[in-house]
Amino acid sequence: MAATIAAKPVIKVAALCGSLRKASFNRGLIRSAIKISKEAVNGMEIEYVDVEPLPMLNTDLEIDGTYPPAVEAFRRKILEADSILFASPEYNYSVTAPLKNAMDWASRAPNVWADKPAAIISAEGGFEGGRSQYHLRQIGVFLDLHFINKPEFLFNAFKPPAKFDADGNLIDEEAKEKIKRLLLSLQSFSWRLQTPLKNAIDWASRPPNVWADKPAAIISTGGNFGGGRSQYHLRQIGIYIDIHFINKPEFFLNAFEPPAKFDADGNLIDEDAKERLKEVLVSLQAFTRRLLLQGS
């Protein structure tokens, strides 16, 4: 009997640098990470995403739910990525203005950072960028970014011998090995966070995207929030893959609140929930018919 093993998906990483200087050491770390990923981390693709074209955050630039072209392009890159790699220098004990500006733009509704794994690399002086990393992790709590804990990458760029060449390229072999370990950790963590549903969504979105223009509905059962947070993330994913979710009725069910909602075999026994499911199906049917009529 032949056995088959499903290949793990390629992890697409968006890499951002908080420094705009051409010979920036932190940008050099990203160039090194890209090279290492190609040579030594099978199943990972890193793309550098430039934050320099972004205007300073100004909500007056948001018109009818759209953003300036540079912002839209940036947000799309973040949304398409599986994971994020931040190269975060330290300015005045914190993250840089360009990086914070980029994070703020991508957090505008819908927040495209949400639920993504991330890692941080920093090259600085005495404290090696640590204070900026701690502030970045704090920002990530609100943005719903999941930072790997280990290994940390804090790097003193000025301690002899030279760590970078004149063009800002990393030449320190020990640091390159540390970056490799960080990338492997980010890859492993990203795979762990990719649910079977997300994996299925990603496969079906590969060209040609077979989700496109289809009506859909979501039902969830969970704890206190009844699966609501996963539904909001799924709706966010749906924007990119062009799925049309019905808005009403929503279906969230707390599976653990008495009285029992399911029997010992996991079958739904709650009559109120069954009636609500019926309402969802009727709404999905009506919405589907409307879309089919419009397309005919």
Read off the pLDDT of residues 70-108 as tens digits, 9 standing for 90 and up: 999 999 999 999 999 999 999 999 999 999 999 999 999
pLDDT at 124: 80
Question: How many CB atoms are located within 10 Å of the residue 145 CB?
Answer: 22
Q: State the pLDDT confidence band at 65, using cuts at 50, 70 and 90.
A: confident
What is the rounded distance in angstroms from the CA atom of residue 111 to the CA atom of residue 86? 17
Q: State the pLDDT confidence band at 237, using cuts at 50, 70 and 90.
A: confident
Of 226, 246, 248, 232, nearest in space to 110 by CA = 232
Q: Are 149 and 185 in contact (CB under 8 A)?
A: no
User: Counting Cβ atoms within 10 Å, is residue 20 exposed (0-12), middle (13-18) or buried (19+)?
Assistant: middle
Of 46-50, 111-115, 212-216, 234-238, where does mean pLDDT reach its minimum?
Answer: 234-238
Tell me: pLDDT of 5 over 50: no
pLDDT at 226: 67
Q: In percent, how much of the chain has pLDDT > 70?
A: 95
Phi, psi angle pair for 251, to nearest 5°: -130, 105
One-letter amino acid for residue 78 of the chain: I
**Residue 204 in tokens:** 């079906």
Mean pLDDT taken over the chain: 90
**pLDDT tens per residue across span 182-198:** 999 999 999 988 877 87
Place of tokens 């079977």: 196
Between the alpha carbon of residue 196 and those of residues 68, 174, 230, 237, 254, the distances in Å are 35, 36, 13, 15, 22
**pLDDT tens per residue across span 263-279:** 998 999 999 999 999 99
**pLDDT tens per residue across span 187-227:** 999 998 887 787 788 889 888 999 999 999 999 987 766 67
Q: Are 235 and 210 in contact (CB under 8 A)?
A: no
**Residue 283 in tokens:** 């709404």
Fill in the DSSP letter of residue 290.
H
Q: State the pLDDT confidence band at 296, using cuts at 50, 70 and 90.
A: low
